[in-house]
Amino acid sequence: MTPLLAELSAIAAKAFVAEGFLETLGFVQRSDRPDLAQFQCNGALSAAKPARLSPRAVADRIASRLRAVSIFSKVEIAGPGFINLDVRDEVLLARLLAFTADKNLGAPRTGESKTAILDFGGPNVAKPMHVGHLRSAIIGDSLQRIFRANGWTVISDVHLGDWGLQMGQLISEIGHRGLASVYFDRDFSGPYPAESPVSMSDLEDIYPAASAACKSDPSRLEEARLATAELQAGRAGYRALWQHFVNVSEQGLTREYGSLGICFDLWKGEASVEPLIGPMIADLKARGLATESEGALILPIDEPGDRKELPPLILLKSDGAVLYGTTDLATIMDRVRSYHPELILYVVDQRQHTHFEQVFRAARKASYTGNITELEHAGFGTMNGPDGKPFKTRAGGVMKLYDLITMATEEAEKRLSEAGFARDYPEDEGKEIARKVGIAALKFADLSNHRVSDYVFDLTRFTRFEGKTGPYLQYACVRMRSILAKAAEAGPAPEMRVILSTPAERALILQLLMLPSAMAGAEHNRAPNILCDYVFTLAQIFNRFYTEHHIMSEKDEGVRSSRLALVRLTLSVLTKGLNLLGIEVPDRM
Ligand code: ARG
């Protein structure tokens, strides 16, 4: 099923082409003035100038072609040359029937037989997560849901930061503390203990100490560098210790992401491409792409015509240690070989833009992308505290995901009790509702801004039941559910037969039919906020429908069952939209 907007655009595009204009001018969108029309096409305005015609003259020609197409009940020219369009009710109803019958609710199959690797999350082993990792996880998870729903085969990879300097810092700090001495004994030939000598909470304590020591004492930094290089070069005790850090962190992270409902297909990390790095370096050297510079090995990636200077990608430092860009480059090679993806999408902080530009150029230069793989960085801005700086906890420390979820749950509990919701429910259920509401508040607030904009963390606002929030939308679903439950008590569910006779019904049907277009737009722009706008508008339009119409008290049986069918469909569409944002709806509130 082609999304309605795409179908209307195709019709308009044909008209433009028939008049000798570009096809792309036929782009049709929802009208900015829903009181005047359902849809609009602004192509005549851009077509006019190069053709030395007035926009209205172009609009006239296009409009007269569109009037001949039976799908439209109205084709009008407005203002300087906008074309306003309405679709016939019968067409809307026929589409609604097909939409309802489709188990995918008309999802655009843009990803049919295509594979995308989504790289998001990206926490660093042993280091506490920060808001950037939270945003990456929330946005990345929503994108993986949207891509999958649109037919893509998605492979998500958390891509742990597990091969950098922080590893050497931890190792040398543990050495200083005299913990776990077998791992430092060069004569020990193994096997090393299966049990980790450090727990997650030990790591939470050791890492900040290690990093502080390296900041204040250059000799400690040097030690950490050396330990990193030795680890990467394969020193057995260090590798064994490192494996424990990774295992312990992974357990903690799986739990933390799990509590947000976020799953990854792959738990790979920077280190997983370690065996590929030697051969890759040899290959880059042999082909003359990598060169020595001041003891380091670099890959220049600047191109003629660059507006700003792009530094080369550093492959090896003078001590032989590999860097972030080296593992990212090898990871591209690995992913292309193993999965032949059409797309590798990185959902990572916008501040890493230059890094990705360097890595992508290097990959293309070395022909590691094959001929189908596109590389793309979908960057995002920061979540700031009220002071305008990246959000920190009250104690000023870096945020822990667990604490953040607790904060949001507590705030949600307050809001729920103010609203008189979940009052006499069993305690467990009340807690579970608060958790779902708290997480919905966090996720929706994050996703509803375009990903590149920064936004301010404001739990009080995020958890409100009024306005554009996650809790508002959850409540809308719960209310629809209770309407349907009451109806079910009164009698068996009627057949899906929709009668369209009022403006509020028409508006609701139109908005329901826009789901596939919203899904397509969110995928195309890597922008879940398009879906946030969609679900919010749907809930508002539903409210109008609900306020203006009788449902259960409607006398006419046909009309009553038609309205109930619309409630049921709105509930499925809203639930589906929220699911694509990673938001769960409680059964009741
Ligand atoms: N670990 C990185 C960080 O904390 C993010 C990793 C993103 N993914 C990647 N392939 N570089 O900034």
* Distance from the alpha carbon of residue 149 to the mean position of ligand 1, in angstroms: 26
Q: Which fold has domain 401-580?
A: Isoleucyl-tRNA Synthetase; Domain 1 (1.10.730)
* Distance from the alpha carbon of residue 349 to the mean position of ligand 1, in angstroms: 9
* Distance from the alpha carbon of residue 523 to the mean position of ligand 1, in angstroms: 22
Q: Which atom of ligand 1 is nearest to the CA of 130?
A: 4
Q: Which of 117, 158, 159, 382 to mutate to test the pocket of ligand 1 (most atoms within 8 A of CB)?
A: 159
- 81 and 56 Cβ atoms separated by less than 8 Å: yes
- 279 and 333 Cβ atoms separated by less than 8 Å: no
Q: Which atom of ligand 1 is nearest to the CA of 359?
A: 11
* Distance from the alpha carbon of residue 120 to the mean position of ligand 1, in angstroms: 8
Q: How confident is the model over 323-372, as pLDDT tens digits?
A: 999 999 999 999 999 999 999 999 999 999 999 999 999 999 999 998 89
* Distance from the alpha carbon of residue 478 to the mean position of ligand 1, in angstroms: 38
* Distance from the alpha carbon of residue 454 to the mean position of ligand 1, in angstroms: 19
Tell me what the mean pLDDT of segment 100-122 comes to.
Answer: 95
Q: Which of 348, 351, 377, 380 to mutate to test the pocket of ligand 1 (most atoms within 8 A of CB)?
A: 348
For ligand 1, atom 5: residue with the closest CA: 122
Q: Exposed, middle or buried by CB within 10 Å (0-12, 13-18, 19+), for 499?
A: middle
| Dihedral sign, Cα of residue 46, residue 51, residue 55, residue 56 | negative
Q: Which atom of ligand 1 is nearest to the CA of 161?
A: 1
* Distance from the alpha carbon of residue 347 to the mean position of ligand 1, in angstroms: 9
State whether the beta carbon of 92 lies less than 6 angstroms from ligand 1.
Answer: no
Within 13 A of 521's CA, how many CA atoms are on the CB side?
21
Q: Which spans in 366-426 are helix H?
A: 401-418
Q: Which of 352, 354, 359, 398 to mutate to test the pocket of ligand 1 (most atoms within 8 A of CB)?
A: 352
* Distance from the alpha carbon of residue 348 to the mean position of ligand 1, in angstroms: 7
pLDDT value, residue 392? 76
pLDDT value, residue 320? 86
Q: How confident is the model over 164-188, as pLDDT tens digits?
A: 899 999 999 999 999 889 999 999 9
Q: How confident is the model over 187-212, as pLDDT tens digits?
A: 998 899 999 999 988 998 899 899 99
Q: Is the pLDDT of residue 559 over 70?
A: yes
Token pair for 374: 């596109």
CB count in 10 Å sphere of residue 113: 9
Largest CA distance in the chain: 89
Distance separating alpha carbons of residues 217 and 337, to the nearest angstrom: 43
For ligand 1, atom 12: residue with the closest CA: 122
- 315 and 284 Cβ atoms separated by less than 8 Å: yes
Superfamily of domain 4-87: Arginyl tRNA synthetase N-terminal domain (3.30.1360.70)
Of 91, 17, 163, 32, residue with least CA distance to 506:
91
Contacts of 405 (CB under 8 A, 6+ apart): 259, 260, 435, 438, 439, 442
For ligand 1, atom 2: residue with the closest CA: 122
Tell me what the mean pLDDT of segment 143-167 comes to.
Answer: 96
Tell me what the mean pLDDT of segment 558-579 comes to.
Answer: 96
Q: Is the pLDDT of residue 26 over 90?
A: yes
Q: How confident is the model over 46-79, as pLDDT tens digits?
A: 999 999 999 999 999 999 999 999 999 999 999 9
For ligand 1, atom 11: residue with the closest CA: 328
Of 184, 204, 183, 198, residue with least CA distance to 247:
198
Number of helices (H) and strands (E) in the chain: give both, helices first.
20, 13
Q: Which amino acid is at 58?
A: V
Q: Which atom of ligand 1 is nearest to the CA of 160?
A: 1
* Distance from the alpha carbon of residue 586 to the mean position of ligand 1, in angstroms: 33
Contacts of 217 (CB under 8 A, 6+ apart): none
Of 71, 13, 74, residue with least CA distance to 513:
71
DSSP, res 514: T
Contacts of 515 (CB under 8 A, 6+ apart): 99, 105, 106, 534, 573, 576, 577
pLDDT value, residue 394? 64
Q: Which atom of ligand 1 is nearest to the CA of 270?
A: 10
Distance separating alpha carbons of residues 69 and 316, to the nearest angstrom: 63
Q: In Å, what is the CA distance from 408 to each residue of 146, 149, 285, 461, 512?
A: 25, 28, 52, 11, 31
* Distance from the alpha carbon of residue 380 to the mean position of ligand 1, in angstroms: 13
For ligand 1, atom 3: residue with the closest CA: 122
DSSP string for residues in 530-574:
HHHHHHHHHHHHHHHHHHHS-STT-S-HHHHHHHHHHHHHHHHHH
Q: How confident is the model at residue 494 (pLDDT cuts 50, 70, 90)?
A: low
* Distance from the alpha carbon of residue 122 to the mean position of ligand 1, in angstroms: 5
State whether the beta carbon of 328 lies less than 6 angstroms from ligand 1.
Answer: yes
For ligand 1, atom 7: residue with the closest CA: 122
Q: What are the φ/ψ torsions at residue 390 (nearest 5 degrees)?
A: -45, 135
Q: Is the pTM of this model over 0.85?
A: yes
Q: Is the pLDDT of residue 396 over 70?
A: no
Contacts of 387 (CB under 8 A, 6+ apart): none
Domain ranges of the chain: 4-87, 115-161+269-380, 165-259, 401-580
State whether the beta carbon of 577 lies less than 6 angstroms from ligand 1.
Answer: no
State whether the beta carbon of 457 lies less than 6 angstroms from ligand 1.
Answer: no
Distance separating alpha carbons of residues 518 and 538, to the nearest angstrom: 11
| Dihedral sign, Cα of residue 408, residue 414, residue 415, residue 417 | positive
Tell me what the mean pLDDT of segment 406-433 comes to.
Answer: 95
* Distance from the alpha carbon of residue 57 to the mean position of ligand 1, in angstroms: 53
Distance of CA 1 to the CA centre of its chain: 24
For the domain made up of 115-161+269-380, the CATH class stated in words is alpha beta
Within 13 A of 197's CA, how many CA atoms are on the CB side?
21
State whether the beta carbon of 119 lies less than 6 angstroms from ligand 1.
Answer: yes
For ligand 1, atom 6: residue with the closest CA: 122
Distance separating alpha carbons of residues 73 and 67, to the nearest angstrom: 8
Q: Dihedral angle at the C-alpha atoms of 532, 535, 541, 544, nearest 10 degrees? A: -100
Of 72, 90, 93, residue with least CA distance to 15:
72
State whether the beta carbon of 124 lies less than 6 angstroms from ligand 1.
Answer: yes
Helix (H, G, I), strand (E, B) or coil at 83: strand
| Dihedral sign, Cα of residue 311, residue 314, residue 318, residue 323 | positive
State whether the beta carbon of 346 lies less than 6 angstroms from ligand 1.
Answer: yes
Distance of CA 46 to the CA centre of its chain: 33
* Distance from the alpha carbon of residue 138 to the mean position of ligand 1, in angstroms: 15
pLDDT value, residue 393? 65
User: Mean pLDDT, the chain, as a whole number?
Assistant: 94
Q: Which residue has tokens 């994050």?
A: 446
